[in-house]
Chain A
Amino acid sequence: MLLAVIIFNFILLSLVPGDIADTLAGESGGASQEVMDDIRRTYGLDRPFHIQLATYVGKVLQGDLGTSYYFNLPVTELILGRVAPTLLLVVTALVLAILIGTLFGVIASRKPNKLFSHFVTVLALVGFSAPVFWTAFLLIVLFVAMLEIMPLSGLVDPTTPRGTLAWYLDVLHHLFLPVLSLSSIYLAAYSRLARASMMDVLGSDYIRTARAKGLGETTVTYKHALRNAVIPVITIAGLQFSHIFSGAVVVETVFTWPGLGTLAFESILRGDTPTIMGILFFSAMIVIIVNLLTDIAYRVVDPRIRSARNA
């Protein structure tokens, strides 16, 4: 799968009108045909397509994603420097969305006709319909402009000494609004999903068995029902991870969060193709890793999958 992404990247690259020679030449204000050919030779652009492809694949597999036109730095290095803030943002948002969403869904499912249940239904609709950058702006107006309790942007206040407790707390402080914006969409979706799934499970035969054993409603709900009901939530969360990653691009640009999303956006504006392709490749890799983790989570929760895969 990763190989497919690499090849796809390369094809995209070669589809781009103009090449590195044009770009470099453009930056230096025009160059003679001779110089251009020379640049093409240096970058191997004069060789046949399949050899170029093989060279590219080989390089990427060795962790060499090329050199950024703009920063003149290896793309891999550039990306690794930006990956931590993005993972912090995305993983926090995902975990919060799953935990709170499931909790909401469970509470709503226990009293399907009460106010809270309707609230979850409405929340899901609103969460789906609101563009994430707009949610972010509304949160900024509320928390930054009106309440004045949250920082507007960035990862951390630059005056805070790095590595101290205050530094970590400040990062958390800065993290709050981006995470809230990003998780709002998925929190809404997961609470609706968890509600439907819980209601399904609560009507099943084994829940009746659990009640017939004399178990209390709390044990029935949180021990017997929840573990079954969370399976579809994990499925969807795994499938949607690449969407959350997409949302992070927008949220990062709104809050100038120094992650991969901001880097990607800026690189697109700068026409820094190797960096863009590197990020695309890298994010695909992260999604694949997360899918593997989802698989593991599955095995923990559902014994049927455990034995089916072992067999």
Chain B
Amino acid sequence: MTEYPTTKPDSAPGASEGSSEVVHIERPVVEFLRMYMRNWSAVVGLLVFTAIILAALFAPVILAVDPFEMVWMPFTPPGQDGYVLGTDNLGRDMLTAIVYGARATLVVGGSAAALTIFIGITIGSLAGYYRGWVDEVLMRITEFFQVLPPLLLAMVLVALFEPTLTTVAIAIGVVTWTGVARLARAEFMRIRELEFVKAARSIGSRDRRIIWRVILPNALPPLIVNAALTVGVAILFEAALSFLGLSDPNVMSWGKLIGDNRDYLLDAPWTVTVPGVAIFLTVLAVSLIGDGLNDAFNPRLRER
């Protein structure tokens, strides 16, 4: 497993070098990138995801049109009259809608995932590090959130408060953190028993330092892989909420586009399939990145 030598007290520079049998990795980050780049599907995922981010960033520059504006006849098929992806039921340009929709998807997906990871790691690390009653209480809370159907709860939360991008992101974060918490807890419970943590404790490091500076860096690899999947899940939740019409009605998003056009599915199938492809490709790209990170963190598993 690729470990970060700097985080382990016993592998400080000069401590364990010189043995001919230990392959000394000069620069772990470079080595990690090399492992990642060897995996072509992960590289494709990264490229696609970068392209989507760029499109979202420069949307107003590429297409200086309001995505809500009616520009042409409704239900113009793709390719006709210069509309590459056609128009929808309200005569809005699909291409513009897709490009602008990427913004909502990425902003909500990204911030919801960040919130999920933050809550998950905080609860998981405290439970896994302190054990005892802290663990007991935090795990009860986690179980509680596992029992509630996440999408249903998110729908309720969004409906109870104002449907804005912020509430949507918070709602998604609140309902999806349990998996991260359980993973973080398991990693912390495993790592806290290892020698270098005992060593840190024996030299009198405080709990906060041990949690953040000693254990967390070593627990990161599986959490980072999980984070990629979390982004995918958050995007899917955002899509589902806006598909159901529960997201901000003033922001164009892919799920909303599908929801607006669902009644015309059989007459103008592109209005539904095209945004679906966009969601699918984005989540696929993110999961390919996740798989690539996983393989790069665990080079030995690839031999299977």
Contact = CB atoms under 8 A, between A and B. Distances in A.
Interface residues of B, number: 43
Contact of A134 (B245, B279, B288, B291): B279
A23 to B, nearest CB: 13
Interface string B130-161: 00000000001001101111111101110111
A280 interface: yes
A112 interface: yes
Given A5-B147, A137-B262, A245 B152 contact: yes
Contacts of B223: none
B156 A280 contact: yes
Interface string B220-248: 00000000000010001001100111100
A250 B243 contact: yes
Interface range on chain A (Cβ under 8 Å from partner): 35 or more
A242 B160 contact: no
B77 interface: no
A256 B232 CA distance: 27
A131 B148 contact: no
Instruction: Provide the main secondary structure of the chain A interface.
Output: helix
Nearest to A281: B148
A129 B284 contact: yes
Interface string A242-257: 1101110110011000
Interface in A104-162: 112, 125-126, 128-134, 137-138, 140-141, 144-145
A131 B276 CA distance: 7
Interface of A: 1, 4-5, 8, 12, 15-17, 112, 125-126, 128-134, 137-138, 140-141, 144-145, 199, 239, 242-243, 245-247, 249-250, 253-254, 261, 264-265, 268-269, 271, 276-277, 279-280, 283-284, 287-288, 291
Given A8-B144, A125-B291, A138-B273, 9 more contacts: A5-B148, A12-B157, A129-B232, A130-B280, A137-B265, A138-B276, A242-B146, A249-B155, A268-B159
13 contacts: A125-B291, A128-B232, A128-B283, A131-B239, A133-B258, A138-B276, A239-B146, A243-B151, A249-B149, A250-B243, A264-B152, A271-B159, A280-B152
